[in-house]
Amino acid sequence: MTEQEVKQQMEDLAAKIAHYNHQYYVENTSEISDYEFDQLLKKLEELEREYPDFKAENSPTQRVGGDITKKFETVEHEYPMLSLSNTYSQDEIVDWENRVKRQIQDSIEYVCELKYDGVAIGVRYKNGRFEQAVTRGDGTKGEDVSANVKTIRTIPLRLKNDFPTEFEIRGEIFFPLDRFQQLNEERESNGEDPFANPRNTASGTLKLQDSSVVAQRGLDCFLYGIYGDELPGEGHYETVLKASDWGFKIPLPKHRYLEKVESIDGIMEFIEFWSEQRADLPFEIDGVVIKVNDYGQQQDLGFTAKSPRWAIAYKFETERVSAQLQDVVYQVGRTGAITPVANLSPIPLGGTVVKRASLHNEDQINKLDLYAGDTVYVEKGGEIIPKIVGVDSNERSEDAQKIEFISQCPECGTTLRRFEGEAQHYCPNDTGCPPQIKGRIIHFISRKAMDVDGIGAETVEQLYQRELIANSADLYSLTKAQIANLERMGQRSAENLIAGLEASKEVPFERVLFALGIRYVGETVAKKIAYSKKNIKTIMDAGYDDLVAIDEVGEKIAIAVQEHFQNVANREIVDRLIEAGLQMAVIERERESERLKGKKFVISGVFNEMSRKEMKGLIDSHGGQNVSSISSKTNYLIAGENMGPAKLEKAKKLDVPVLSEKDFLKMIEHD
């Protein structure tokens, strides 16, 4: 055989395997036996070993894994991965539908879907090839788990038919229940502990370093959303169905996994159906999701800070069990907040064995009227820590002791405080109470804050015990020798940590502000304050009125910020952080002009003088806003070559002016 012929043979084999693979895993049929399939795969593997140069980048042999990921790289999402607002109440679904109707004032189609209880994933395709798979992470950045995701047989490596050149498809990776059970049986026969529940195991599996282990586990995936500039449909439902032609496993209408309805009655029927049928599914769901179908209507409805207004999740009621209350212990958080936690007799609930439950605060304890030894009802409402929702007082013994909330901090003995109008007790000893000191440092280094590599809670504990650190600024004075001396550390780890601290000096100011750990100043509020006041000095000296004038800053937050910076110790920490070289001001992005201010643009097709990306950049730098679908709120559609007819039609229907590339350039020309 000539090399050319070998190459051809390998390509043919790869195509055949991909075809049978899709048939088997996505369509649940097969034209050949398992044996024949294995023979094809073996043959291709042999050829790839012999002619490694001819191995295709996305060869189906990767399905068996083998690639090792040492470190999962962090990747920024092109489209943020938001969450869904959710409810357990059907009345709230009715309210939601009414709000949608009020805002849209037109006929509306809804898409009903299952809410898969797995791990969200975004997979990017370019020119019909799998490019990258990224986890949800914090919503703006996730981790590149491509090698592992490529082993999931239902996720195509190459696409078929008429797919868009570039897009991202999102869905949920989950553990099919039969595979989960099989895995646990194997583990138990190996003397290993079984895994607690399918969802956490799916999430853990996705983060394994050895992709061949992932391949054996048999994860699966449903895709439920497509994101891109040039999508074939004007609505969610049609686009998802199209993705099936490209080779994706999508939830099918014939199984009632996906359904388009036109009214609240249709929505309710779907909810009723799955409330009853969900136990028979071969995978776990925790509710259903309702989405407005039309992309333009979705855009008009928009988003809140965390979730789209065009979608809502209805969650099913949770399982409830009874357990014995053994005692109540009290945890001290980084802000000094005291959380009572109930120790329970171990009891299986929703796939895990529950031993503890959160009690939230004193009022909660009083409301439940808790006595030691009580029989309590426990529920898992989506949170990791279950809740006590009631007490069976008939079971109470005569001499049982009432649970009284503590008055002294269990860690440092300081008398606790409870502010007016607040439910939580605090330990006011913020500079002397160990869990608070350590908690603040752990918050400072955490991923959403300074994201310092090479250090975790355990290292903080050791550094604190050895009196090497007592606040975040101390971290930047640590020497390599001091770190290398710690248990389970060494030269290499010390160098990593020093490098991690060095890298944290590039973290933008809004995250530094969040990292300071000011009470009530979360990620979003830190951003608002940072963007409004621009630098740390202005914030430190801001008056109450200055602060409450900032969007999302109320009385409580303003007082907390002022109190934080009135404390000399906190001001000193800031001074030392400035000296260490951290970012203490926002970096302003230059605007070229404000000519397009307040105008929303949709761009479509390809352009002569610039790429799509450059065009978007121009819109942005002149104060305009890029949006992805046409709605009645769109100001202009910029039409390039090869633009789809559907968009043009929609623009006409909604009276949105259409600009050529030239028209647009004229708009932003200098006077």
Catalytic residues: 115
**Binding residues for ligand IVH, total number by CB under 6 A:** 14
Token pair recorded at residue 315 = 């969650």
Q: How far is the CB of 528 from ligand IVH (least distance, A)?
A: 22
Site for ligand IVH in 164-203 (CB under 6 A): 172
Q: Does 664 bind ligand IVH (CB under 6 A)?
A: no
**Closest residue to ligand IVH: CB criterion:** 120
Q: Does 270 bind ligand IVH (CB under 6 A)?
A: no
Whether 632 contacts 652, CB under 8 Å: no
For residues 170 and 179, which CB has a smaller minimum distance to ligand IVH in the complex? 170
Q: How far is the CB of 108 from ligand IVH (least distance, A)?
A: 18
> Which listed range, 80-88, 178-186, 377-385, 498-506, lies at the site for ligand IVH (CB under 6 A)?
80-88
Of 224, 405, 444, 601, the one binding ligand IVH (CB under 6 A) is 224
For residues 170 and 612, which CB has a smaller minimum distance to ligand IVH in the complex? 170
Q: Give CA separation, 542 vs 221, 355, 546, 558, 565, in Å.
A: 50, 46, 6, 9, 10
For residues 253 and 348, which CB has a smaller minimum distance to ligand IVH in the complex? 253
Of 122, 128, 225, 350, the one binding ligand IVH (CB under 6 A) is 225
Site for ligand IVH in 287-306 (CB under 6 A): 289
| Rounded distance between C-alpha atoms, residue 400 and residue 388, angstroms | 18
Of 311, 450, 643, 651, the one binding ligand IVH (CB under 6 A) is 311
| Rounded distance between C-alpha atoms, residue 653 and residue 227, angstroms | 23
Bridge-based pairing of strands 600-604 and 387-392 is unpaired
| Rounded distance between C-alpha atoms, residue 386 and residue 641, angstroms | 56
Whether 391 contacts 374, CB under 8 Å: yes
> Which listed range, 2-10, 45-53, 113-121, 591-599, lies at the site for ligand IVH (CB under 6 A)?
113-121
| Rounded distance between C-alpha atoms, residue 229 and residue 629, angstroms | 8
* Cα diameter, the chain: 91
DSSP 365: H
How many Å from the N-terminal Cα to the C-terminal Cα in the chain?
68
Of 41, 59, 63, 113, the one binding ligand IVH (CB under 6 A) is 113
Q: How far is the CB of 82 from ligand IVH (least distance, A)?
A: 4
Of 63, 77, 115, 511, the one binding ligand IVH (CB under 6 A) is 115
For residues 85 and 339, which CB has a smaller minimum distance to ligand IVH in the complex? 85
Q: At how many degrees (to 10) do helices 264-277 and 90-104 cross?
A: 150
For residues 155 and 311, which CB has a smaller minimum distance to ligand IVH in the complex? 311
Of 8, 39, 83, 415, the one binding ligand IVH (CB under 6 A) is 83
> 194-201: long-range contacts at Cβ-Cβ below 8 A with a sequence spacing of 24 or more?
196/351, 196/352, 196/353, 197/350, 197/351, 197/352, 198/117, 198/118, 198/174, 198/283, 198/284, 198/351, 199/117, 199/118, 199/119, 199/174, 199/175, 199/284, 201/175
Of 10, 13, 82, 557, the one binding ligand IVH (CB under 6 A) is 82
Residue labelled with tokens 């939580």: 424
Residue 330 bridge partners (DSSP): 340
| Rounded distance between C-alpha atoms, residue 524 and residue 545, angstroms | 20
| Rounded distance between C-alpha atoms, residue 38 and residue 658, angstroms | 55
Site string for ligand IVH, 24-63 (x = CB under 6 A): ----------------------------------------
For residues 69 and 298, which CB has a smaller minimum distance to ligand IVH in the complex? 298
Q: How far is the CB of 601 from ligand IVH (least distance, A)?
A: 22
Of 26, 40, 84, 646, the one binding ligand IVH (CB under 6 A) is 84
Q: How far is the CB of 158 from ligand IVH (least distance, A)?
A: 25
Q: How far is the CB of 309 from ligand IVH (least distance, A)?
A: 10
Q: How far is the CB of 345 from ligand IVH (least distance, A)?
A: 32
- Amino acid symbol at 230: E
For residues 83 and 415, which CB has a smaller minimum distance to ligand IVH in the complex? 83
Site string for ligand IVH, 129-148 (x = CB under 6 A): -------x------------
Whether 472 contacts 579, CB under 8 Å: no
> Which listed range, 112-120, 523-531, 611-619, 633-641, lies at the site for ligand IVH (CB under 6 A)?
112-120
Bridge-based pairing of strands 320-332 and 338-349 is antiparallel
> Which listed range, 76-84, 242-250, 327-335, 486-494, lies at the site for ligand IVH (CB under 6 A)?
76-84
Token pair recorded at residue 575 = 């001074």
> Which listed range, 108-116, 147-155, 276-284, 434-442, lies at the site for ligand IVH (CB under 6 A)?
108-116
Q: How far is the CB of 119 from ligand IVH (least distance, A)?
A: 7
> Which listed range, 114-122, 452-460, 475-483, 580-588, lies at the site for ligand IVH (CB under 6 A)?
114-122
> How far is CA 367 from its chain centroid?
34
| Rounded distance between C-alpha atoms, residue 457 and residue 589, angstroms | 36
Q: How far is the CB of 566 from ligand IVH (least distance, A)?
A: 39
Site string for ligand IVH, 316-345 (x = CB under 6 A): ------------------------------
DSSP per-residue codes, 255-295: GTSEEEESSHHHHHHHHHHHHHHGGGSSS-EEEEEEEE-BH
Exposure letters 295-324 (e unless 16+ CB within 10 A, then b): bbbbbbbeeeeeebbbbbbbbeebeebbbe
Q: Which of 86, 89, 517, 105 is nearest to 304 (CA)?
A: 86
For residues 197 and 635, which CB has a smaller minimum distance to ligand IVH in the complex? 197
Q: How far is the CB of 83 from ligand IVH (least distance, A)?
A: 4
Q: Does 308 bind ligand IVH (CB under 6 A)?
A: yes
Q: Which of 395, 387, 354 is nearest to 371 (CA)?
A: 395
For residues 226 and 357, which CB has a smaller minimum distance to ligand IVH in the complex? 226
Q: How far is the CB of 295 from ligand IVH (least distance, A)?
A: 13
For residues 308 and 624, which CB has a smaller minimum distance to ligand IVH in the complex? 308
Dihedral angle sign, alpha carbons of residues 196, 198, 203, 205: positive
Of 96, 110, 116, 426, the one binding ligand IVH (CB under 6 A) is 116
Residue 292 bridge partners (DSSP): 110
How deeply is 496 buried, as exposed, middle or buried, from its count of CB atoms within 10 A (0-12, 13-18, 19+)? middle
Q: Which residues bind ligand IVH (CB under 6 A)?
A: 82-84, 113, 115-116, 120, 136, 172, 224-225, 289, 308, 311
